[in-house]
Chains A and B, each alone.
Chain A
């Protein structure tokens, strides 16, 4: 089956620092990956669509300069939370779909970010 990994699985950082989260499709290529944010006991909120080789498309209300997305290859997308603050603490989840354009999205296990 298709596997999506995320690294790190959890991270704690000081306020004002930047944190990079990686999302990898391990056994398939993904031209498009998605980044979500999940607050405790709440739903996943789509943040942005990451397109390989081009700029990411952000959902309304998501700060582009705050959440930098780079999709450098067909198997890797990164989300960098710049100048993190405590309100950025959350669970960040990525997903990817195979290039065969099926409906199936494969989700990563998520990254827990805590900003002190």
Chain B
């Protein structure tokens, strides 16, 4: 079946620190992989995606590379800002277009 395992939080970082949030997956077939972000009081927003092995998704300074050999899609950012404080969800898209989410990682960036 499909599942996503995500690094547990919460994570607290100082501004300009390096961020890594680990994500691994189990899937049948070749899923697309996603990172979604949920800001306080708002709905989920797509942050980035990758649709095949070795693809790198990037947006707003965040990056994640689809690693088939390690079934991973770790999220990274070189220098976080206070405005990056949110909950981040790793997800995969199944063959029927359903999404399977990780547990979410809460990130707090302090000035």
> Which A residues lie at the B interface, using CB under 8 A?
4, 32, 34, 36, 41-46, 49, 57, 93, 95, 97, 103-105, 107-110
Contacts of A110 in B (CB 8 A): 43
User: B98 near A: Cβ within 8 Å?
Assistant: yes
Interface segment among B14-22, B58-66, B70-78, B100-108: the answer is: B100-108
| B interface secondary structure, majority | strand
18 contacts between A and B (CB under 8 A): A42-B104, A43-B4, A44-B89, A46-B99, A46-B100, A46-B101, A49-B97, A57-B96, A93-B43, A95-B44, A97-B97, A103-B34, A103-B51, A103-B93, A107-B36, A107-B45, A109-B43, A110-B43
Contact A42 B103 (CB under 8 A): yes
Chain A residue nearest to B41 (CB atoms) is: A109
Cβ–Cβ contact B96 & A49, under 8 A: yes
- Is B81 an interface residue when CB atoms closer than 8 A count as contact? no
Contacts of B103 in A (CB 8 A): 42-43
Q: How far, in angstroms, from A93 to B100 measured CA to CA in the complex?
A: 13
- Report the nearest A residue to B33, measured CB to CB: A103
Complex Cα spacing A46 to B4, Å: 13
Q: With A44-B89, A49-B98 known to touch, is A105 a contact of B46 (CB < 8 Å)?
A: yes
Query: What is the distance, in angstroms, from B2's C-beta to the closest C-beta of chain A?
Result: 9
Chain B residues within an 8 Å CB radius of A103: 32, 34, 49, 51, 93
Contact status A107-B97, CB under 8 Å: no
> Are B32 and A93 in touch, CB under 8 angstroms?
no
Instruction: Identify the closest chain A residue to B104 (Cβ).
Output: A43
Residues of A within 8 A of B102 (CB): 43
Q: Which of B44, B45, B93, B101 has the most CB of A within 10 A?
A: B44
Contact of B44 among A41, A45, A46, A93 (CB under 8 A): A93
Q: How far is the CB of B69 from chain A (nearest CB, A)?
A: 22
Contacts of A41 in B (CB 8 A): 104
**CB-based contact B46/A104 at 8 Å:** yes
CB distance from B105 to the nearest CB of A (A): 10
